[in-house]
Chains A and B, each alone.
Chain A
């Protein structure tokens, strides 16, 4: 029996091995490598592995790169807030539909994830560009004179990513809203609560954990987004993932690139850690 157990454990290990290998090869090893690199000096001759230094981290926080981090953080938070605010009405609307309609509508909201980022960005430029649909309509109506700048700035990134990452908030929120016992809303109404009070005192608190979970994923996706900001943000509005790419693969400054990656990684860990703490204190309290 004992050998049987061991045999089974061995088989499981064998099955998991490829996954572990992939994670090691493509995720943990490069991350470790980047951390090591970020602590070395960089000279005209390239990376100097004999020198250990924190210089790269000092540069990561200098005004130039610091500003890029702040911009990325700001854009990501704005996108997450807009997405969370917009996802509630959409989610409340969806759960009132028939089961079939719900599946269909959810598919529509998931569609952006199924379309190539470059194709999406191209689509957006047809809508948001100087000669795009929005500007032509507004101009035709006489609302605006010179075209609005909706692309190649932060506005463009926000629009593109609110669209692109919407479902990361919508899906968990929809799941929580569907799981909500309708009797709870009726009970609240029966005790005198109007629609507003029902939302604020029952629906919102009971679906907030799902919203926070979705918002967290959304925020992380925003911080790490690469192609959409690159295509819709233009050359003046760079986010950290793009800058890190340039430092690594254009300037070939792997130590600084590693430091930028590690700092981004740590920034993203903070909300994850906070959410974990919040979850635990809720569970305990």
Chain B
């Protein structure tokens, strides 16, 4: 179990990691998600001990490790550029950590071969990293990290240098391996799909802060800030003001004049206060019943046919809405047609504007 409490790291005047706290359970796969430059790598390297935290504590399985040197933390880090030793063979790269731990020669050979089998690289054991493809290098880096049986595995964008097809394959392999070895793992990525596909929980970072932590569906269905909503792929994010707060529902009038009805959800709604709401394209239905909580009359601006799905660009009195629907052979509206779209109040994600801390 990894416990981070109030960790901060600055580079000169840049605060790369600002007061981050999180707990990652034993055997959990945790994804750290955020745009480039938000401090993911810095946080990972601070946990590994490459950088020293300027405040806060880091504890692994109950022991504080913040003061330990990098070589004594029992954490394995897979670097974004893999950082394989170019002068050593695949075998020697993987054996490196075991040699440092002064294991007997025989045991080193057995364990390295075992792990090379696991990542399907046994035949390439004598090659140098320079003679391998990107995907193979990635697997060597992974093998080199897991062979030492670390208490914590840290992966820094391990898939970002691979092409799309290989990326999906490796992603599933990493997940399967992590489950099999029950490794506590933190994966850093800026790729939403990657984070959602493999992780038990996701932490969304922004400007050095951990903005929201939760399961993938929690983060997607209930983003707690406009930033998180945008980052996890919500489209149709609208701004407005609260006009009415009822028993179970709240009404928001957007700046462009649409009226939205959302569930209250135990939030602190005040009439007149600023708020934002998102109408997720996949939740917008064409021709909703007359009783739909949200219903908009729109003009079709543009239809994009994607084979199994169709996306529509709709104009609703000055607001452009995107809608998406699976295509199963139904009749599609043409550009210029008038259509009604809508959704239930529960399909909407709405929150009062968060006061920015800065």
Interface residues of A (CB under 8 A from B): 181, 183-184, 186-194, 197, 201-202, 205-206
Alpha-carbon distance between A201 and B93 when the two chains are bound, in angstroms: 11
**Among all A-B residue pairs, the 8 with the closest Cβ atoms:** A192-B100, A191-B97, A183-B83, A187-B83, A189-B70, A189-B71, A190-B77, A205-B87
Per the bound structure, the CA–CA distance linking A188 and B69 in Å amounts to 13
CB < 8 Å neighbour of A186 from B83, B84, B86, B100: B83
Known contacts A183-B79, A183-B81, A197-B100; A190/B86 CB under 8 A:
no
Closest to B76 in A: A190
**Quick check: A184 and B85 within 8 Å, CB to CB?**
yes
Residues of A with C-beta under 8 A to B48: 186, 190
* A contacts with B: majority SS: helix
A190 touches B81 (CB 8 A): no
CB neighbours of A193 from chain B (8 A):
71, 96, 100
Tell me which residues across on chain B come within 8 A of A189, comparing CB atoms.
Answer: 49-50, 69-71
CA distance A123 to B223 in the complex (A): 74
What B residues does A191 contact at CB under 8 A?
71, 76, 96-97, 100, 144, 148
The one of A181, A192, A202 in contact with B97, judged by C-beta atoms closer than 8 angstroms, is A192
Whether A190 and B71, one on each chain, are in contact in the complex, defined by CB atoms closer than 8 angstroms, is: yes
Inter-chain contact count A-B, CB under 8 Å? 59
Chain B nearest Cβ from A98, distance in angstroms: 12
**A197 to B, closest residue via Cβ:** B100
Q: Report the separation of the CA atoms of residues A192 and B148 in the bound assembly, to the nearest whole angstrom.
A: 10
New A-B contacts (13) at CB < 8 Å, excluding given A187-B83, A191-B100: A181-B83, A183-B81, A184-B83, A186-B45, A186-B50, A186-B70, A186-B77, A186-B79, A187-B79, A189-B70, A193-B96, A197-B100, A206-B87
Is A190 within 8 A of B75, CB to CB?
yes
B81:A188 contact, CB within 8 angstroms: no
Which of B45, B76, B87, B97 gathers the greatest number of chain A CB atoms within 10 Å?
Answer: B87
Contact indicator per residue, chain B 73-95, by CB within 8 Å of chain A (1) or not (0): 00111010101111100000000
Q: When A192-B97, A192-B101, A197-B100 are in contact, do A187 and B71 touch as well, CB less than 8 Å?
A: no
Q: Which residues of B contact A (CB under 8 A)?
A: 45, 48-50, 69-72, 75-77, 79, 81, 83-87, 96-97, 100-101, 144, 148
A151 and B69 CA atoms in complex are apart in Å by 48
Please name 20 pairs of A and B residues whose Cβ atoms are closer than 8 Å in the assembled complex, sorted by A.
Answer: A181-B81, A183-B79, A184-B85, A186-B50, A186-B79, A186-B83, A187-B85, A190-B70, A190-B75, A191-B71, A191-B76, A192-B72, A192-B101, A193-B71, A194-B71, A201-B85, A201-B96, A205-B87, A206-B86, A206-B87
Separation of A206 and B45 alpha carbons in the complex (Å): 24
Q: Chain A contacts of B101 at CB under 8 A?
A: 192
Name the residue of chain A whose CB is nearest to the CB of B79: A183
Instruction: Give CA–CA (A75, B48) in the complex, Å.
Output: 48
Chain B residues with Cβ under 8 A from A202's Cβ? 85
B96 near A188 (CB under 8 angstroms)?
A: yes
B-side contacts of A190, CB under 8 Å: 48-50, 70-71, 75-77
- Distance of A184 Cα from B96 Cα, bound (Å): 12
Give the residue name and chain of the B residue nearest to A202 (CB): B85
Complex CA–CA separation, A186 to B50 (angstroms): 7
Q: How distant is A193 from chain B, measured CB to nearest CB, in Å? A: 5
Roughly how many angstroms separate A192 CA and B71 CA in the complex, as a whole number?
4
- Residues of A contacting B97 in the complex (Cβ-Cβ under 8 angstroms): 191-192
Most chain B CB neighbours (cut-off 10 Å) among A190, A193, A205: A190
What is the minimal beta-carbon distance from B154 to any residue of chain A, in angstroms?
Answer: 9
- Chain B residue contacts of A184, Cβ below 8 A: 83, 85
Q: Which residue of B lies closest to A187 (CB)?
A: B83
CA distance A262 to B130 in the complex (A): 43
Q: Which residues of B contact A183 (CB under 8 A)?
A: 79, 81, 83
Q: How far is the CA of A187 from the CA of B49 in the complex (A)?
A: 11
Task: Determine the residue in chain A with the shortest Cβ distance to B101.
Answer: A192
* Bound: A187/B154 CA distance, A: 12
On chain B, the residues within 8 Å of A206 by CB distance are: 86-87
* Bound CA–CA A187/B50 (angstroms): 9
Most buried by B among A181, A183, A191, A205: A191
Cα A37 to Cα B117 in complex, Å, equals 68
Q: What residues on B are CB-neighbors of A205 within 8 Å?
A: 87
Residues in chain B near residue A186, CB distance under 8 A: 45, 48, 50, 70, 77, 79, 83
How near does chain B come to A176, taking the closest CB pair, in angstroms? 12
Q: Report the minimal beta-carbon distance from A156 to chain B, rounded to whole angstroms.
A: 39
Residues of A within 8 A of B79 (CB): 183, 186-187
Q: Which residues of chain A are within 8 angstroms of B49 by Cβ–Cβ distance? A: 189-190
Tell me the bound Cα distance from A197 to B100 in angstroms. Answer: 8
Give the complex CA separation of A108 and B282 in angstroms.
67
* CA distance in complex: A78, B87 (Å): 29
A188→B96 CA distance, assembly (Å): 8
A194 to B48, CA, bound (A): 15
CA distance A202 to B79 in the complex (A): 16
Closest to B87 in A: A205
A205 to B86, CA, bound (A): 10
